[in-house]
Amino acid sequence: MTKIITLYNHKGGVSKTTTCFNLAKLLSTNGKRVLAVDADPQCNLTELMLSPQIARLDELELETHQENDIQGTSLLELLKPRIEGEVAEIPLESVETISIDENLMLLKGDVNLSSIEDSLAESHIQRFSNKTHEKRTYVAIADLLRRYGDENNIDYILIDVGPSSGALTRACFLSCDAYFVPTCPDRFNVQAIGTLSTIIGKWIKDHQQIRSDFEEIGLPIQHGLPKFLGVILQSFKIRGGQPKPTYRMWMERIPRKIEQSLYPIISKFNHGDYDLTLGLTGEEIVVSKIRDFEGLAPIMQEHGKAMFALSQDDTRVMDANNRAWTGAAWTGAQERMADYKECIAELETRLMELD
C-alpha cells in the first residue's frame, strides 16, 4: 500500500526541499517506486528534479525565441476542474507525471498554485455544510494521491509543501500517513515548535470532527492522523568531528521541546495501538543529524543529482576555469557525501518502520 509522506515545518530555511529531493532519490535508487509531488508555489523541487532539462529548454528558448513549457501536469492543473465543478473526482487519466528515472516520477510545481488557496479554505469552512461540491474539494488532494499511488504501485509519495500554515499545506498534510519535522538548531526553530504543534493539533482536530459525516455519505476522506517520524537536525557546522557548542545546545533542546509541545497535543488522538508519536522518546526523536553541506548544494542544484551521487567531474561548475576538485578538496567532498548518504538512509530506515 502506498505511503504518503511529507516534511513539514512552517518555519522556512530548514532545507526541507533539499532533504525531500535526496530522500526521493535514495528511495528510488534502492528500488522503491516514488512519486514526488511539488506542492510549493516556489517550485524548488521541480527545479531540482528537472535542472538539466530546464537548462536545455532555456537554451532552446534563447535560440528560437519561442516559449517551451515543461512537460507533465501540475497539481494546480489537476485540481482546477474539481474546484470549478467540472468533475466530481479528478480522473487518473488526466495525470501526466514526469519520469525522472526508472523508479522516480514527478508531479511538477506551478508558481500559480497559491491561486487555489481561497477555494481550499472555503472547502474547509464549508466542511460541516450540506454542500457536496465543497466537500468533494476538501477530499480532492488526498483522494487523487491515494488512487494514483494504488493504481500505479507507488511505494512512497513524497509531498514537498511550502513553509506556511495555509489551506493548501493543510490539505497536503492531512493527506499524509506520516511526516518528518526538518529543523535547524537555533533559538527560533525551538520557538517555532510551539506554534507548529498548535497548528498540527488544530488541523487534526478539525478533520476528525467531520470524518464520520463524510464516510456516511460515501466520500473518500482519509483518516487525517499522520504519524510523527522524527525531527531532522540540519545545517549545523562541526569542529573536531562534533557540532560546535552553540549548535549542540539547541540540538539538545529541540527534541525536549517536541516532547513538551507536540506530544501532548497529538497524543490525544492515539487509539488502541495507533500511536501518533510512534513511541519515540529521548534521542529517538532525532531521526538524523545532517551537517552543513559546505559547497555541495550548488553542484547538486546545477546537475539535478542527489548530493551523495555527485562525481568529481560535476565539481567543475564551481571553478571559473572549469577545473574539477582534486586533492584535499575532493577527498573532503567525498567524506561529506558519504556522511550525507548515511543521514538520508536514516530517514529511509525510519520510513520502513511504518506499519
Residue-wise pLDDT for 299-348, tens only, equals: 999 999 999 999 999 999 998 999 999 999 999 999 999 999 999 999 99
The pLDDT value given to residue 292: 86
Q: Are 15 and 235 spatial neighbours (Cβ–Cβ below 8 Å)?
A: yes
Question: In one letter, which amino acid is 15?
Answer: S
- DSSP, res 163: S
Q: Please state whether beta strands 178-183 and 156-161 pair in parallel, antiparallel, or not at all (unpaired).
A: unpaired
Residue 355, pLDDT > 70, answer no
What is the C-alpha radius of gyration for the chain, rounded to an integer number of angstroms? 21
The set of cell numbers assigned to 348 is: 529511509
- Tell me the pLDDT tens digit for each residue of 227-251: 999 999 997 777 767 777 778 888 8
Of the listed ranges 34-48, 56-70, 335-349, the least confidently predicted one is 56-70
Which residue type, as a one-letter code, is found at position 23? L
The pLDDT, as a whole number, for residue 12 is 86
Torsion 348-349-351-355 (CA) sign:
positive
Give the pLDDT band (50/70/90) at residue 354. confident
Rounded-to-integer distance, Cα 20 and Cα 234, Å = 13
Element (H, E) at 338: helix 327-352
Question: So what's the pLDDT on residue 251?
Answer: 87
Distance from C-alpha of 199 to C-alpha of 121, rounded to nearest angstrom: 15
At 79-121, the pLDDT tens digits run: 999 999 999 999 999 999 999 999 999 999 999 999 999 999 9
Does the structure show a pLDDT above 80 at 186?
yes
Give the chain's domains with CATH numbers.
Answer: 3-305+342-353 (3.40.50.300)
Q: Report pLDDT for 184.
A: 86
The two beta strands, 104-107 and 3-7, are unpaired
High-pLDDT (> 70) share of the chain, % = 98
Dist. CA 193–CA 196, nearest whole Å:
5
pTM for the full predicted model:
0.94
Residue range 263-287: mean pLDDT, rounded: 96
Q: If you count them, how many residues does the chain have? A: 355
Q: Tell me the average pLDDT across 287-292.
A: 92
Whether residue 58 is predicted with pLDDT greater than 90 in this model: the reply is no
More confident residue, 355 or 219: 219
pLDDT band at 53 (very low <50, low <70, confident <90, very high): confident
Residue 185: pLDDT over 80? yes
Give the Cα separation of 49 and 92 in Å (integer).
22
Which grid cell is 146? 491515494
State how far the Cα of 210 lies from the Cα of 205, in Å rounded to an integer.
9
Residue 21 has pLDDT above 70, yes or no: yes
Query: Which of 145-149, 156-160, 184-188, 281-285 is the least confident region?
Result: 184-188
What region, left, alpha or beta, does residue 63 occupy, with left being phi > 0 and alpha being psi -120 to 50 degrees? alpha
> Could you give the C-alpha distances from 132 to 118, 175, 205, 210, 222, in angstroms and in order?
17, 19, 21, 13, 17
Q: Please provide the average confidence, as pLDDT, over all residues in the chain.
A: 93
